[in-house]
Structure 1
Amino acid sequence: MVFVTEKAEKAGKAPSVFRNTAFLRLWTGTTASGLAMWAMPFVLGLAVLERSITAVELGVVLATRTAGFVAAVPVAGVLADRHPRRAVVFWSCLTAAVMTPVIAVGMGKSLLLMAVAAAIVGAGQGACRPAFQALVAEVVPESGRQQANAATTLAIRVTTLVAPSLTALTALLVDARALLAITAVMWLCAALVPPKGTGQPVQTSSARAGFVADFLDGIREARRHPWLLGGLGALTAMIAFGYSATAVLLPVVSRDRYDTEAVLAAATTAYTLGALAGAMLIARWRPRAAGWASLAGLACYGLIPLGLLAPVHSFVLIAVYVVAGIGIELFNVPWFTAIQREVEPGKLARVSSLDFLLSYGLAPIGLAFIAPAIDRFGASAVLGVCAVICFAAPAAAALIPSSRGFTRSS
């Protein structure tokens, strides 16, 4: 049930989303799943330090987890539009909870067992993402969704900031196998805590069509919104080129230009802190041209390859990361809110799965191509091209008339 006071509705405002019990439960479950997802790579890294697994085994396990994530996202979008989103969240998170300890069982015994378990855990992670996103639209009224999305992304950013530290501190008391068991408990929390949604009606005609036809129907829904295709293209380009290049080259620049790993740590922390500030800002700010403001925020990421390219002081580079962090949340929150508002409710999970698949799910492909490009053309050329793409892609998306407000009527 959504608790919105009549007085607040008449005033054109929604009360704090944390007064909405259903959203509070959803937020808790989303946070638990995010903490479990971000903790696992660090736990497995500690297992390498403990010599429970090798570095090669770590790479294989993380790769299969990513493969499971990418494979599950489109299927999960279809399932979450066919069936209650709460049920999809439950089974996907429960699957991750059950299979996470299996990774611990395989440590030092069977790489195949670890890889299969990691792939299934990744599938559980991918399967819950579109359902969580669609559930927000079910349990929060439209007037409160921007605040709700900001609260969710705030929790995710805090998770990325504290997960490594919490994992390292806990490792002082227990080993990697026990840490994986704790991660499984977090997945179990994510499975059990979220509320029931309003219960979108099952699309009976869609159920007869098959998964491929159902997913294609979601693509057709996305094509009805030109601003969505433009924004998704810009986001995908930024991640594939900008994020991938900076992820590879920031450690190199930190070592070679500044002769210290401290710049690497400071820059990544600054980005997360900037994102926290951006989420808090956009929770209450309602720009008149929300789409253009969001795309401008996305374009701020282009400052990072420029900062890595130019011989700037380390404090300038760190400041650039703060600005980029603010900008990414000025994009993310209105972007998710617009999708929840504009997309047909019965197809929301499929469109959300397309968003995750093309933007974040395919990011490893960009990473795979960046290193050969650097070897072939040099770091300066790659950074220059990536900066141009990060600026040009949002600018091109902004030329689409409906992008001004992320609405078909813009």
Structure 2
Amino acid sequence: MTTPPAPRLRSHRPAWAGRNYTLLTAAAVVTGLGNAGALIAAAFAVLEAGGDGGDVGLVAAARTLPLVVFLLIGGALADRLPRHRVMVAANSLNCVSQAAFAVLVLSGEARLWQMAVLSALGGTGQAFFSPAAEGMLLSSVTRQQAARAFALFRMGMNGAQIGGAALGGALIAVVGPGWVLAVDAAAFAVAGALRSLLDVSAVPRREPGGGMVRDLREGWREVVGRPWLWSIVVQFAVVNAVVGAAESVFGPLVAEDHLGGARPWGFALAAFGAGTVLGGLLMVRWRPRRLLLAGSLSVLPLSLPSAALAVPVPVPALVTVMFLVGVSIEVFGVSWMTALHQEIPEDKLSRVSAYDWFGSVAMVPLATALTGPAEEAFGRTASLWGCSALILALTLAVLTVPDVRRLRRSETTPVAEGGPAAEDTAPKPVSPR
């Protein structure tokens, strides 16, 4: 008697979501949950050690500085070495540094300089990780499904950060910041293990390069040779700095003086997070033909929070504004990732991503440091109106770039790294620009 074959279990994973995409998304959710709580825990650890607000800022700056310094090197390295190995090595560094941070805090012997050094190691790990991770993600899906894949990825990441911040805050109140840092270290270990399972058998062999400097020059040429790319990178170098300064410094001050304290500001930030999730859902379905025109128009609402704080508007209005901004920024984010996926050659993705990341974070510490002098020189209200006007002016300037308005979505499907089967894909054309 022949035994009938066992029934195959149906996978709930979409057919286009290959092994690499699934692993990358799962790992991003795990680290998002851990990191969101750890950022809060680090601040409370400094305060519990006897530090003040300036010390909290010092430890935060210690993380940002190596991120800026090493990003471009990390991008060049990720296009030279197998990207998954760079990612796992960076996760290992983050795991060790956060574990050491946790041990120091739990022992009650943490010194400010030790926390700053460990934060700097965390920033170094992120500098090498981020370009490699973005390059790996961009090459893990086909062009036909890129927008949907990136929208779902960002939804998972944003949702994890929202949940991680809420969970981290609760855990800090119950067990203290040290254990939250320990959880983050474990999250990095799990994420590194998942990323070590990435399938790179379909990755084309990298030709030996002419050195790090040459690799960086090639990445720079990819950026400056595309007006849509460098103009938006320059735009967001300023926009991110202005938004970061307004939300991290002016937002809490306005909330304390006019809105009733920290809780309403927390509601506003939570509304922004909820908006990003809804924006991701929107981009799963919506496929704008002119990618960057739709994305750049969606940047205009980023001027609204600064204006709302300048008035200041009542709490319900501020919460509504932040929710709408969360939706709009996801429209830009998915459109931007789709454009990079479509236009940038696979072997240069990480270097271009590194220049993009560099532009996004390089001016944030400077802008944050200048908020105090700006408030003294012009007043808080005028400074906030200035932030809003600067975002509007830069975005309108970017919309005058012909390539930003004209770049269209292509449905041609390139070869995906570890993605769907080869017969479902076609080679990715190199942009002639």
- TM-based fold match above 0.5: yes
TM-aligned CA distance change 1:322 to 1:168, over 3 Å:
closer
Q: Which residue of 2 aligns with 1:132?
A: 133
Alignment partner for residue 41 of structure 2, among 40, 43, 52? 43
Q: Which residue of 2 aligns with 1:10?
A: none
Deviations 1:348-393 (A, max 9, x none): 1011011111113432221111221111111222122211111121
Pairwise CA distance, 1:247: 3.0
Matched residues in 2 for 1:181 and 1:18: separation? 35
TM-aligned CA distance change 1:53 to 1:36, over 3 Å:
farther
Contact 1:77 1:349 in 2 (8 A): yes
Pairwise CA distance, 1:120: 1.3
Q: Which residue of 1 aligns with 2:218?
A: 217
1:228 and 2:229 aligned: yes
Pairwise CA distance, 1:289: 2.1
Pairwise CA distance, 1:81: 0.3
Q: Which residue of 2 aligns with 1:73?
A: 71
The SS at the match of 1:219 is helix
RMSD of aligned Cα (Å): 2.3
Pairwise CA distance, 1:142: 1.2
Q: Which residue of 2 aligns with 1:359?
A: 360
Q: Which residue of 2 aligns with 1:83?
A: 81
Q: Which residue of 1 aligns with 2:171?
A: 170
Range moving further from structure 2, 18-27 or 91-100: 18-27
Q: Which residue of 2 aligns with 1:323?
A: 324
Q: Which residue of 1 aligns with 2:271?
A: 270
Q: Which residue of 1 aligns with 2:303?
A: 302
The SS at the match of 1:193 is helix
The SS at the match of 2:285 is coil
Pairwise CA distance, 1:173: 5.4
Matched residues in 1 for 2:173 and 2:307: separation? 40
Pairwise CA distance, 1:138: 2.4
Alignment partner for residue 54 of structure 1, among 51, 54, 66? 51
Q: Which residue of 1 aligns with 2:203?
A: 199
Q: Which residue of 2 aligns with 1:350?
A: 351
The SS at the match of 1:257 is helix
- Higher-Rg structure is 2
**Counterpart amino acid of 1:45?**
A
Matched residues in 2 for 1:175 and 1:313: separation? 34
Matched residues in 1 for 2:346 and 2:327: separation? 29
Contact 2:242 2:364 in 1 (8 A): no
Q: Which residue of 1 aligns with 2:418?
A: none
Q: Which residue of 2 aligns with 1:27?
A: 25
Matched residues in 2 for 1:173 and 1:309: separation? 36
Pairwise CA distance, 1:258: 2.7
Contact 1:18 1:24 in 2 (8 A): no
TM-aligned CA distance change 1:153 to 1:53, over 3 Å:
farther
Contact 2:291 2:336 in 1 (8 A): no
The TM-score with structure 2 as length reference comes to: 0.84
Pairwise CA distance, 1:234: 2.0
Pairwise CA distance, 1:226: 0.8
Contact 1:104 1:114 in 2 (8 A): no
Deviations 1:128-159 (A, max 9, x none): 11111111132211112211211221122212
Identity, % of aligned positions: 26
Normalized per residue, which structure has more helix?
A: 1
Matched residues in 1 for 2:368 and 2:110: separation? 30
Contact 1:309 1:380 in 2 (8 A): yes
Q: Which residue of 1 aligns with 2:394?
A: 393
Runs of 4+ in 1 over 6 A off after TM superposition: none
Contact 2:31 2:191 in 1 (8 A): yes
The TM-score with structure 1 as length reference comes to: 0.88
Give unpaired runs (5+ residues) of structure 1. 1-14
Range moving further from structure 2, 53-62 or 286-295: 53-62
Contact 1:157 1:272 in 2 (8 A): yes
- How many residue pairs get aligned? The number is 392
Contact 2:37 2:166 in 1 (8 A): no
Contact 1:77 1:351 in 2 (8 A): yes
Contact 2:30 2:191 in 1 (8 A): yes
The SS at the match of 1:188 is helix
Matched residues in 2 for 1:52 and 1:305: separation? 34
TM-aligned CA distance change 1:100 to 1:53, over 3 Å:
farther
Pairwise CA distance, 1:272: 1.1
**Counterpart amino acid of 1:165?**
A
Pairwise CA distance, 1:218: 0.7
Matched residues in 2 for 1:35 and 1:386: separation? 31
Matched residues in 1 for 2:193 and 2:262: separation? 41
Pairwise CA distance, 1:299: 1.2
